Amino acid sequence: MIKEILADADLRMKQSVEVLRHELTRIRTGKASVGLIEPIKAEVYGGEMPLSQVATITTPDARTILIQPWDKSTLGAIEKGIQKSDLGLNPNNDGQQIRLTLPPLNEERRKELVKIVKKYVEEAKTAIRNVRRDANEHVKKLEKDHKISEDDSHEAVDQVQKLTDKHIKEMDHLMELKEKEVMEV
């Protein structure tokens, strides 16, 4: 029973790390990246669809993202979706494609992005702590129901803490890498 609790906690913690990793790819670093606009949705065909499902997205150079819709009638909806996003980018629609030019990041904006990185990391750490709490509650319940001994309970709680420490350390490492990437000129 303890093994299942530990395996479940480990899996859920790994998922939290992966969600953080995905969120961090969306943070702008001054270089054009398709991941930057992946979460943006456009209202097309009666629903919201991710840009990657309605257009080809490329980065012809380090400062430009090019969006070529498969159906030219969706250009306006794609443009609106970009404008509604919190990226602060001005889409340039030429009637065939949309070009996004990324301005160079100034020092103030870089510091704002680092704060956003830290916020994402803190939210992910909270998710891991919640997993730890749930796992520890399951262990305590097993002990209370006399299904495991007190020693086994303490050992399981220690194992859960080791998992927590391991995943939080990984998140801290991701945060350091992203901060370094954002702050590089």
The domains found in the chain, sorted by start residue, are 2-25+106-183 (1.10.132.20), 34-101 (3.30.1360.40)
pLDDT at 108: 84
* Residue 90, pLDDT score: 84
Beta strands per DSSP E along the chain:
41-44, 47-50, 55-61, 64-69, 91-93, 98-101
Q: Note down pLDDT in tens along the chain; length 185 residues.
A: 889 999 999 999 999 999 999 888 877 676 777 877 877 888 888 888 888 889 999 988 888 899 999 988 888 999 888 888 767 778 888 989 999 888 777 888 788 888 889 999 999 999 999 999 999 999 999 999 999 999 999 999 999 999 999 999 999 999 999 998 888 75
CA distance 175 to 121: 7
Residue 45 has what pLDDT? 85
